[in-house]
């Protein structure tokens, strides 16, 4: 007897296709502000569709105007608002004029004071899997909040991770298209890299119904031992945003939906109502949220986590040169990297990840905040 599975890929007609999406907030963090404007893509073909040529202006409740300039990065509008304009109780809104002439406005969003981050830390933790005898090993991050009555009661936390990783070999032997060349001494210029990425999880907290504006051990993200993150050094920058109640409701709903795994009994996906409106065509829904927040931040470094063995393997897969030699690889860009040492090269072609750490989107420039 035989059986098989056949993949079924339905054509899903989403009601939110090709709608305007506005994402952005103004903060007192460093004065530099960014607002992103794009179009929503279809569920079947997910892509970024930036909208350029808009006129974007931020207003505060005192009548001050702050123009946002269309940058060279598609769909990103940037400007500067000095920290002096951000006072507790002040409010901000955005106004957008699209190339088609539509006027988009947001509600005013209120600025609230943010306490300093009390502490960010991690604990060794093993998470259960579908196999009761197997666990995912790693570290779980947490934050403690210690605010007072003058601070906001609603929070969102933004995590940005940076880690060091290495290629498996330096560049020593290569084929340049006509002959084999030895690099002496070996080239280590692309051996060490650093990668920086935002953590995609959405973390929110409300202390409105608590006796004090404090919270202990709020869970953030989990980092397992199967990537290069914990091999040579890991840094986490945490930004703590004090936000309005309206913003907290928006981000909490977004967090709930993004955390769903798409199982049969999970809730159906739904549009999250933001605070933006199309004044010109009121029937056209605008997705996203524009808000204002006070921000404090803290960075921690991690090296050699106790009682955790990293099981990461560099994505290096040399393949035999074969009986046809380099002629079999004439279609590949040069140079071709070869396995070898000081004694000579071997008949194996290495993929770029073996010797070039930038092939996995890292950079060789050490971050300014990285310890020596």
What are 366's two structure tokens?
A: 């050490």
- Given pLDDT bands bounded at 50, 70 and 90, which one contains residue 15? low
Q: pTM to 2 decimals?
A: 0.86
pLDDT above 60 (res 317): yes
Give the model confidence (pLDDT) of 80-101 as tens digits: 999 999 999 999 999 999 999 9
Residue located via tokens 């829904």 = 285
- Given pLDDT bands bounded at 50, 70 and 90, which one contains residue 156? very high
Write b or e for each residue in 355-366: b if 16 or more Cβ atoms lie within 10 A of its Cβ, otherwise e. bbbeeeebeeee
Which is it for the CA torsion 167, 173, 179, 185, positive or negative? positive
At residue 205, the pLDDT reads: 97
What are 362's two structure tokens?
A: 């890292």
At residue 235, the pLDDT reads: 97
Residue located via tokens 């794009």 = 38
Mean per-residue pLDDT over the chain, rounded: 89
What are 118's two structure tokens?
A: 């009390």
Average pLDDT over residues 169-194: 92
Q: Which of 26-30, 162-166, 271-275 has the least mean pLDDT?
A: 271-275
Average pLDDT over residues 200-212: 95
At residue 104, the pLDDT reads: 96
Average pLDDT over residues 331-343: 86
* Chain center to CA of 4: 38
Give the model confidence (pLDDT) of 258-313 as tens digits: 775 544 444 444 568 899 999 999 999 999 999 999 999 999 999 999 999 999 88
- Count of other CB atoms within 10 angstroms of residue 115: 19
* Contact call for residues 297 and 29 (beta carbons, < 8 A): yes
Q: What are phi and psi of 50, to 5 degrees?
A: -70, 150
pLDDT above 80 (res 39): yes
At residue 11, the pLDDT reads: 57
- Count of other CB atoms within 10 angstroms of residue 13: 9
What are 33's two structure tokens?
A: 């502000």
* Contact call for residues 339 and 173 (beta carbons, < 8 A): yes
At residue 8, the pLDDT reads: 58
pLDDT above 90 (res 73): no
At residue 264, the pLDDT reads: 43
pLDDT above 60 (res 102): yes
At residue 271, the pLDDT reads: 67
52 versus 333: the higher-pLDDT residue is 52
At residue 6, the pLDDT reads: 65
Give the model confidence (pLDDT) of 298-316 as tens digits: 999 999 999 999 998 888 9
Distance CA 21, CA 288 (A): 5
């Amino acid at each position: 007897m035989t059986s098989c599975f056949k993949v079924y890929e339905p054509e899903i007609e989403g009601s939110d296709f090709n709608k305007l999406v506005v994402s952005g907030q103004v903060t007192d963090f460093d004065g530099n502000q960014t607002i992103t404007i794009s179009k929503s893509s279809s569920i079947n073909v997910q892509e970024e569709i930036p909208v350029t040529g808009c006129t974007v202006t931020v207003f505060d409740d005192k009548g001050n105007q702050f123009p946002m300039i269309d940058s060279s990065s598609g769909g990103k509008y940037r400007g500067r608002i000095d920290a002096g304009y951000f006072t507790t109780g002040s409010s901000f809104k955005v106004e957008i004029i699209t190339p088609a002439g539509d006027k988009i406005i947001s509600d005013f969003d209120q600025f609230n004071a943010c306490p300093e981050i009390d502490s960010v830390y991690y604990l060794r933790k093993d998470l259960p899997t579908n196999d009761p005898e197997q666990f995912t090993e790693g570290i779980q991050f947490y934050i403690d909040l210690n605010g007072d009555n003058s601070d906001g009661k609603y929070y969102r936390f933004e995590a940005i991770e940076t880690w060091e990783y290495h290629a498996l070999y330096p560049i020593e032997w290569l084929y340049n298209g006509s002959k084999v060349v030895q690099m002496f001494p070996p080239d280590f210029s692309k051996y060490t890299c650093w990668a920086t990425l935002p953590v995609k999880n959405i973390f929110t907290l409300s202390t409105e119904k608590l006796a004090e504006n404090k919270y202990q051990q709020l869970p953030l993200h989990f980092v397992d031992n199967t990537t290069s993150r914990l091999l040579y050094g890991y840094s986490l920058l945490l930004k703590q945003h004090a936000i309005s109640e309206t913003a907290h409701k928006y981000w909490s709903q977004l967090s709930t939906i993004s955390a769903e795994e798409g199982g049969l009994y999970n809730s159906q996906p739904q549009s999250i109502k933001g605070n933006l409106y199309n004044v010109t065509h009121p029937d056209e829904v605008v997705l996203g949220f524009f808000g204002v927040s006070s921000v404090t931040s803290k960075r921690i470094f991690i090296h050699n986590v106790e009682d955790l063995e990293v099981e990461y393997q560099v994505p290096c897969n040399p393949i035999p040169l074969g009986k046809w030699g380099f002629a079999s690889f004439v279609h590949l860009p040069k140079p071709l990297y070869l396995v070898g040492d000081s004694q000579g090269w071997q008949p194996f072609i290495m993929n770029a990840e073996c010797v070039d750490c930038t092939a996995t989107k890292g950079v060789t420039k050490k971050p300014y905040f990285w310890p020596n």
